[in-house]
Every structure is written in structure tokens, then in C-alpha cells.
Amino acid sequence: MTKITAAITCVNGYVPPKILTNKDLEKLVDTNDEWIISRTGIKERRILADGLGTSDMAFEATKGLLEKRGILATEIDLIVFCTVTPDMVFPASACILADKIGATNAFGFDLSAACSGFIFGLETGSRFIQSGVYKKVLVVGGDKMSSIIDYSDRNTCVIFGDGCGCVLLEPDMEGNGVVDSILKVDGNGRHFLHQKAGGSIKPASHETVDAREHFVYQEGQTVYKFAVKGMADVSAEIMERNNLTADDVAWLVPHQANLRIIDATANRMGVDKSKVMINIDHFGNTTNGTIPLLLWEWESQLKKGDNLILAAFGGGFTWGAIYLKWAY
């Protein structure tokens, strides 16, 4: 029997129109354009308007995807919504999105794996397709990071931005789509990147608000060291076990946390910079949004059969790599 693989058959994205530049941030905290560019590679990022949530970006992205693919929302079987900034703690943003787009035949859930969320979601969605039971799976990756960023903390506020991307997974009989994956977690890393309050261990209170504990807390240097090693290790490993040389890799699609982490990963793989997708300069770190937004921006340059390595590292710690064959 021919093996079913899960191919990406359509991709789309949405970023809000409002731009927050490094110059704008110079007015909020003690930072400067030169420091931000040299340490992170970021020049500007997008900010979603007050009163809107992550599902509003997902609505725009998925609506466009359905139009592009020429299908109805009622044809979607499953929505995997990867985010750390759901509209609400519950219900899941997948439910809210299903309602907004009219995906009345779908079930869905949110997937929380910080910056690795989208690749975890892609693997999850691909397994549903491989089962043969599900024919159209929507994997959404998006975050309104500005809703959990402290714009008086220069360690974090310069890094993150808002945005959302999505892909459609469908069965493929030619071996295109998700070929292999290596996904990992190490909960010991939770101390270095997390949001202190708002969960069951420390629900919201006047004290937690006063202590500014509803924002991203990051020990940047520690996370950086683990990220460089984690992302490079799994990217090299997935190439090795699939007998891929650097020449065989058409594109590296790395999570966009820091240009230096991306460079280190590409170097370790031996992949030339010209084959590395980068949007950190104009979108910053959009957490779950980085990888699907890259695919969206690069879609016109991708060819059927291209070997892509997707790689990410994030809070948890979570990290991993996916070997994907482009299907169109």
C-alpha cells in the first residue's frame, strides 16, 4: 500500500499594519538601533491593535488560505492552533477561530510549546493526515506577543512582535510533505523563559500585577546558549539520518529569535546564507508565527521537491527540526 504523507498544499499569513521601529523603542527604554540590530538582527516589528486577539490575525490568515486553495471552511477536519497568547485561557483559540471562519465540521485544540509550537503542531497535524482519517488539517501558528511584553523591560521588549501564519495539510501519495522530525522538551529550562503569573500556581492578583509578573521573563544569555546548541544539534542530526548534504537542502527555515542563533545553525549544517529564510529584520520574533510567516513570504521561490529543514527552539525548553519536502 502506498504510504500517505502530509503535504503542505497552501500557506498564508497575516501581520498587523502597525510598525514599531527600533527608533520608537528608543523613546520607551534605554536602548538604541545599533544595539538591537547588532545583537538580534531586528529593525522593526508589527503590533496588533488593542482590543484584537491572536484569533483575529488567524482569521485573516486562514480566510486568505481558504480563498487561495479554493476550498470551503466546512471542508476543514481539524484545526491545530499553536500559540502562547490565546485569546483567553479557555476556550481554546481553535474553537474561536472555527466559529469565526465557519469551520463547522472541524474539531480543534490549542498547542502550547512556545517558539517550537508550530513545528510541534506540524508534526501533530501530519500524524492525523497519515492516519488516513483526516483529509484537511489547518495548522495555525500565531501570537500577539505585545499582549505579554513589558514595554519598560529592554531585555525583552525589543525582541518580540505580533503575527500569524497558517498552512493546510493534505494527504500526498508521492512522498512530499513531512518526511522526518526530531522534537524535544526539557522542563528544566522553564526557569529561564516563562510568564510568572496568570496560571494555576499563581493566579492573577493585585500583587502579581504590581510585580509585573504577567509579562515574558527571559534570562537571555542562558536561553541563547541552549538555543544555539539545541537548534544546531537537531538540524545536523536530521540531515545526517536522512543522508542529506548541504547541497541537498534547498532552504533552512529557522525560528527567528536572534540572527546569531540562525547563523550558528546554518554554519553547523554547512548551508549557505543564501538558502536561509530570514524575516526577523522586519517582523522580530513572532514566536509561533515565525516559521509559517517565512513559508508564506518565500512561497513563490519554493519548488516541488525542494528539501526544507524547519528548526526551532523556545521556552520550555522545547526544540526540534522537521525535514519537509515541498509539494507544489
- The site for ligand UT7 (CB under 6 A) is made up of 31, 35, 39-40, 115, 154-155, 158, 220-221, 223-224, 227, 257-258, 261, 285, 313-314
CB of 294 to ligand UT7, least distance (A): 14
CB of 142 to ligand UT7, least distance (A): 15
Beta bridge partners of 323: 180, 309
In the set 115, 157, 164, 166, the catalytic residue is: 115
In the set 12, 176, 279, 285, the catalytic residue is: 285
Angle between helices 259-269 and 220-241 (to 10 degrees): 30
Closest to ligand UT7 by CB, 14 or 319: 319
CB of 116 to ligand UT7, least distance (A): 9
Instruction: State how far the Cα of 36 lies from the Cα of 9, in Å rounded to an integer.
Output: 36
Whole-angstrom CA distances from 195 to 84, 200, 209, 216, 266 are 10, 12, 12, 5, 30
Closest to ligand UT7 by CB, 42 or 98: 42
Closest to ligand UT7 by CB, 6 or 159: 159
Residue type, 87: D
188 carries an active-site annotation: no
Written as nine digits, the cell of 234 is 537537531
Closest to ligand UT7 by CB, 69 or 154: 154
Instruction: State how far the Cα of 56 lies from the Cα of 153, in Å rounded to an integer.
Output: 27
115 carries an active-site annotation: yes
Assign 77 to helix, strand or coil: coil
255 carries an active-site annotation: yes
Query: Before 91, cis peptide (omega within 30)?
Result: yes
For residue 230, give the nearest of 264, 281, 276 by alpha carbon: 264
Closest to ligand UT7 by CB, 118 or 224: 224
CB of 159 to ligand UT7, least distance (A): 6
Residues 6 or more apart whose CB falls under 8 angstroms from that of 188 comprise: 317
**Residues annotated as part of the active site:** 115, 255, 285
